[in-house]
Homo-oligomer: A and B are copies of this chain.
Amino acid sequence: KRTGFPEVIYGEGKTADQIISIMKAIQQNNNNVLATRVSEDKAEVIVEQFPEAQYDSRSRILYWKLQNDAALQREGYIAVICAGTSDLNVAEEAAITAEVFGSNVHRIYDVGVAGLHRLLDHLEEIQGATVSVVVAGMEGALGSVVGGLVSHPVIAVPTSVGYGANFQGLSALLSMLNSCSSGLSVVNIDNGFGAAYNAVMIDRLANQKSRE
């Protein structure tokens, strides 16, 4: 296994049957598996066939672990930070992905910049992370604010939450790309999975050097 990561299936636009047959192929290789963007309807069908699979409806992630990762005790943690309740789904896509990949996750939710004090209440916890994933829609300002408060890498995820001149996440995307805080990099709109993938890579480099 080159990467030490489970096999990943992007569920959007695939039928339950297609996902099942990909999972069967993976099973033969005795691998872990993680499928993102799986609707509740499809998940039901799939879990019937793979009773060992688990489904999380908020993140829409379906996963299943054959290998025992108990040995992977890490010290550090990834902070998954999000602005509002509407960004929860994407934040959970990041958080669950990171956990399935074996990282420790601290969830710091509902700390949008309109109420700065709530964010500052968690300052120590945020600064203590090895890497942060910041999930925010609308104006995406949370990325810059967190970036300015920490000295570790920040992966920013713009979300498509908003209306009007939000243009399906464009406002948050541009905002994060233009951040005046150093140490921010950006993934695609709503791509919680991708952010977690990056964060886990960094987490492993920092906290599990002996492992790979």
**Residues of A at under 8 Å CB distance from B?**
2-5, 8, 12-14, 18, 83-86, 112-116, 130-131, 138-141, 143-145, 147-149, 151-153, 155, 158, 160-191, 193-195, 197-198, 201-202, 205-206, 209
Chain B residues within 8 Å of A144, by CB:
113-114, 139, 141
Q: What distance in Å separates the Cβ of A45 from its nearest Cβ neighbour in chain B?
A: 18
Known: A18-B85, A139-B140, A163-B12. A174 touches B185 (CB 8 A): no
Q: Is the CB of B84 within 8 A of A205?
A: no
CA distance in complex: A199, B164 (Å):
20
Q: What distance in Å separates the Cβ of A201 from its nearest Cβ neighbour in chain B?
A: 5
Q: Is the CB of A8 within 8 A of B116?
A: no
Known: A116-B149, A152-B201. A165 touches B140 (CB 8 A): no
